[in-house]
Structure 1
Amino acid sequence: MGTRVSYPVEVKMKAIEMRLAKVPVKEVMEELNIRNKTQLKTWMAWYRNGEIHRLHQPVGKQYTFGKGPEYDSETARLQAENRFLEQQIEVFKKVRGIGKEVAPTVVIQLVEDLKDGMPVGEICRHLGVGRSSYYRWRKKEDQPTQKEIRDQQIGDMCKQHKFRYGYRKISALYPGVCEKTVQRIMQKYGWQCKVKVKKRKKTGQPAYVTDNLLARDFTATKPLERLVTDITYLPFGQTMMYLSSIKDLFNGEIIAYTIDLNQDTKLVIDTLNQLPEVTKGCILHSDQGSVYTSYAYQKAVKEKGITMSMSRKGTPADNSPIETFHSTLKSETFYLEDIYRTTNACVINIVKEYIIYYNNTRIQTKLNSQSPVQYRQSAA
């Protein structure tokens, strides 16, 4: 059986923070490429029970307090993650276009197509079904159940009316089955009415997405040459708070940050305005969040003579330096001291003190065991 690997701890923590900020499960899964919503529930349960150490454990290992993923080297960890992602991509290519929930007949066909290169259990895990379910479905493949016959008849009815009817009209034409059941079946196979599709209200200005100019090259030869920025959740106070920060890749120094109650364009522009004057060719890298793609932010960036760069969608690793800083900040303050609920003023004070410590005192091996400020001063 193939090696089973877990999602990176950075992805797990970001998923937890997004859920604490009441971001819908579907949106969290799409942004972070998480396949199964039960994984989110498990991570949230660990977080609420104070078992943060369990987020570091690989799948299939004994969850012992204080132990992290048991990889022989960083290369082994990256290879394990790469195998997981390649398998996910292969499954998603096969399953594309068949609806949100995988039907038994589709599972059987997918397993037959992929089992030569992947273990059956691994394929089933990516599809969110149990291996025992697959074998049960394969055994009964030629014997359609009453539910399958019912589902097919409802599907035929939807197709007959060219998907003009919603679940209420379909249930009226198919007596003996309640509306909720018909609705669930239509949602399961993507047979909903296509005439009046619900549209999500767009907020803010039109989005402007730019190329990934950094391409994971997080090196710089001088200060203010390459910068990275992101927003992280601070779910430790009386209300949800947000930290927007900008990091200089030359020495890892946090050169601008803002803490606010709202995750909006004003938050990131206030952070941007703290930057000193930059030289020509300065690149500022972010993800594709709506605040960064907004017209107002793009205009403010151009006025400062900065070139924007953006991560690919659903790829936190493209902006890993700032993601790592935010994770380190929480690990070395709130999680270390078991602070999960306090006042907003206390949260702000903890973050401010830590950033001062991080910039001026906390040494980094890659900076010749100097702090970011010491490294910048010695380089000058």
Structure 2
Amino acid sequence: MSKNIYNEFQIKELEKNPNILSASDRSISYKPEFKIQAVSEYKNGKAPSQIFIEHGFDLELIGKKQPKRCLQRWRETFERFGEEGFLTERRGKGSAGRPTSKQLSIEEKLRKAEAKIKFLEAENGLLKKAGRTRKAGVEEETILNAAEKFSLIEKTIRTHQLKNSVSYLCELAGVSRSGYYDWLKAAPLRVKRDEQDELDIVLIKEIFNNNRGKVGALQIKLFMENDYSSVMNHKKIRRLMVKYNLVTKIRRANPYRKMAKATKEHRTCPNLLNREFNQREPGKVLLTDITYLYYGKGQKAYLSCIKDGATKEIVAYHLSTSLEMDIVYKTLKKLKLAVGNQFHPEAILHSDQGFHYTYPLFQSKVKKLGLRQSMSRKGNCWDNAPMESFFGTFKDLAEYKSFDNLRDVTKEVDRVIYEYNHNRYQWGLNKMTPEEFRGHLIAV
């Protein structure tokens, strides 16, 4: 048995050599006449590699060590059994030879039936591994595509030497005979594509691993274009991720999450935005909210953020172990420092109707900063969707759950928000980072 593993195109190339009976992905069967002649030439002093080259073999394909291994085995068989050992044996073990189809028509039929069983067994094994299903909520149905069926047919024919059973197996698999031959002819193209895929996946894996498996096809495309000056279609990236089993870590919806409820109706503010979050002016629309961060052994922290609706940049944030009003007051203070107290003349601070934002003192501080206050409708998270979206992305990227103290959690929050603002390219920002897009809008 060869130590090489041959693809379907290489197998076809091997079988073109008149000295080969058959070839599979791991083995080559040579004709007895060639073995006898090779042993004779070997005894007369020819090198094994020279013998194989003169008989039309490509050593790069079969392996440079293969001729020597074969000649040593064949010479042992010749010394034990003579020429008869090659004419009536398989692989030098003196076993009975393979009768012709005319001699064993019944046996051939049995072999054909066995091939059918092997084909169906192989098909069933592949079906179990396949992950294709119909729409959710419908009874699961797994199917093979045409290429997989063609591959099964080719492997069955090659393994059981049923070259005259193409039509039978195609009918059994429910594919066309012409389609099968077209698939065989396209083998060199598939090999070439596989070789190119091996080259392309290297950079995709590097970006995927550098981001801890938390980036999808679109994000990888943006990293390739901006950091590696490489262009690749996002559909190809997605195909390669599926092919090489790169599964993006995604957040799961929390079915127990409760929508924020408004308190003190008389202190709520009207919805000035009406979901017009991006008004193409940095600093004009500021969105704010608070999220929970669970870390260590049941410990809880709270992250308050303010996000620019136009640039998607996190302008200010504060992490606290308490939900008291101080968390939003400090966030406002950091916002003032971040903008140098130079707010947009029509700036709006938009939030939900949580008790922090309906509290009179908070509203007073917002007014002193020269900001107009806006609120989502009661119990409607879509009115502050960009903020919710950021928190989802943040929890995908941040690795805070395993930390045991607030100091380490704070460092992780600082790291992720810095990466988000400065290094995370976004499709909706003309493939720029939030910081780059802010500079772009200002320049325009």
- Bin for the TM-score computed over the shorter chain: 0.3 to 0.5
Greater RCO, 1 or 2 (C-alpha within 8 Å, sep 6+) = 1
TM-score (ref. length: structure 1): 0.44
- Which has the higher Rg, Structure 1 or Structure 2? 2
TM-score (ref. length: structure 2): 0.38
